[in-house]
């Protein structure tokens, strides 16, 4: 299956593994690359640019296929060494970068000069158009269903994707609710050039997270996520747990007077405890509504091959039969 996304990044299948904190490590990224997709190492999971360089080198030892780096620009009192991370990306010869968070315009000239293709995560058409205008090569359009930060517009992908297709000239992938071949075919039908899967890739054998995390996703339904930090206009979709219930209770009690400091125990520094130690009630961790479609923990290769086979069966089988039946009916009238 060839799309503008497979051509842009030199990959076999139009499937991207988005950057995920404490998840986007070499083991998962290499597995995605080896299966024909595009994996993303999450830069800010690495404490320093030097650690990122080592993770890229580790991934290179595990695959000779294309992979990229996610670089998320966050507002912070103590800013990460963004120039250092960009330097490592360039020196390591990475040719695909997924940016997220704040506007990435300040890093685009250096990346493009080195031949890097940049895909920016967007939660609205206006943000996608802005990314296009500053020179991003592609965008990931994230619907309200997505895990992590869905923005503040609350527009689901059935509306957001065709709206993006109407407005954009650059290629885009659909993110949020993506789990299988049905997701891929639906996204293509709505105008996307591929899909970005996050939560679905956590529930794979190669994902470097605690088994408790994978089991939590498999056991969850589409009703088991919550939206937190809405009063702070930094909305995040997370898996419900005791820590999230504590956070929501604080939001209800404090209302618009709540500050980030009030919820620090539930959101700051909890990812290693959850992802690596399996302390599932430690706090909030990103998870999409797509958990309701996930009921197994396959290898990455099994997941991608199954997704592509299912997509082909839908296109060549069910949809083709519908069109063929209509054509046959028209011919007999």
pLDDT one digit per residue (tens) for the chain, 333 residues = 999 999 999 999 999 999 999 999 999 999 999 999 999 999 999 999 999 999 999 999 999 999 999 999 987 767 899 999 999 999 999 999 999 999 999 999 999 999 999 999 999 999 999 999 999 999 999 999 999 999 999 999 999 999 999 999 999 999 999 999 999 999 999 999 999 999 999 999 999 999 999 999 999 999 999 999 999 999 999 999 999 999 999 999 999 999 999 999 999 999 999 999 999 999 999 999 999 999 999 999 999 999 999 999 999 998 999 987 655 555 554
| Summary count for the chain: helices (H), strands (E) | 15, 10
Strand partners, 98: 70, 119
β-pairing, 68-73 vs 172-175, is unpaired
Predicted local distance difference test score (pLDDT) of residue 40: 98
Q: Which helix (H) or strand (E) holds 6?
A: helix 4-9
Neighbours of 4 (CB within 10 A): 17
Could you tell me the sign of the dihedral formed by the alpha carbons of 97, 98, 102, 105, in that order?
A: positive
CA distance 307 to 82: 35
CA distance 160 to 156: 6
Instruction: Give me the residue label for tokens 């050039």.
Output: 193
Among candidates 16, 10, 48, which has minimal Cα distance to 29?
16
Predicted local distance difference test score (pLDDT) of residue 110: 98
| DSSP state letters, 39-93 | -EEEGGGSSSHHHHHHHHHHHHHH-SS--EEEEEE---SS---HHHHHHHHHHTT
Contact 67, 95 (CB under 8 A): no
Contact 147, 288 (CB under 8 A): yes
Q: What angle do CA 313, 317, 321 make, to 5 degrees?
A: 165
- Catalogue all structural domains in the chain, each as residue range(s) with its CATH number: 4-208 (3.20.20.70), 212-289 (no CATH)
Strand partners, 38: 16
- 181: which 2 tokens? 């071949």
CA distance 8 to 56: 21
Predicted local distance difference test score (pLDDT) of residue 78: 77
Contact 266, 314 (CB under 8 A): no
CA distance 293 to 241: 19
CA distance 282 to 233: 23
Contact 84, 51 (CB under 8 A): no
């Amino acid at each position: 299956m060839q799309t503008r996304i497979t051509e842009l990044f030199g990959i076999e299948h139009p499937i991207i593994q988005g950057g995920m904190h404490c998840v986007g490590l070499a083991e998962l990224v290499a597995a995605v690359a080896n299966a024909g997709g595009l994996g993303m190492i999450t830069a800010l999971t690495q404490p320093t640019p030097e650690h990122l360089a080592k993770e890229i080198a580790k991934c290179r030892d595990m695959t000779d296929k294309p992979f990229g780096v996610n670089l998320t620009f966050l507002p912070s009192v103590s800013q990460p060494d963004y120039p250092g991370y960009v330097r490592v990306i360039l020196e390591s010869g990475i040719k695909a970068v997924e940016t997220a968070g704040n506007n990435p315009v300040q890093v685009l000239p250096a990346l493009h000069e080195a031949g890097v293709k940049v895909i920016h995560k967007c939660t609205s058409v206006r943000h996608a158009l802005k990314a296009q205008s500053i020179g991003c090569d592609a965008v990931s359009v994230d619907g309200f269903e997505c895990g992590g930060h869905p923005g503040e517009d609350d527009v689901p992908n059935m509306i957001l994707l065709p709206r993006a297709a109407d407005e954009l000239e650059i290629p885009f992938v659909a993110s949020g609710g993506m789990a299988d071949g049905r997701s891929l075919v639906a996204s293509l039908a709505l105008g996307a050039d591929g899909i970005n899967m996050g939560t679905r890739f956590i529930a794979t054998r190669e994902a470097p997270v605690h088994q408790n995390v994978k089991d939590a996703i498999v056991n969850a339904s589409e009703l088991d996520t919550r939206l937190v930090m809405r009063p702070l206009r930094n909305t995040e979709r997370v898996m419900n747990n005791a820590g999230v219930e504590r956070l929501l209770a604080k939001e209800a009690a404090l209302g618009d007077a709540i500050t980030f400091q009030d919820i620090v125990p539930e959101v700051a520094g909890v990812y290693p405890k959850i992802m690596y130690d399996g302390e599932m009630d430690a706090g909030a961790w990103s998870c999409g509504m797509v958990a309701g479609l996930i009921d197994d923990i396959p290898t990455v290769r099994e997941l991608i091959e199954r997704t592509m086979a299912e997509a082909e069966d839908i296109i060549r089988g069910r949809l083709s039969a519908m069109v063929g039946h209509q054509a046959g009916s028209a011919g007999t009238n």
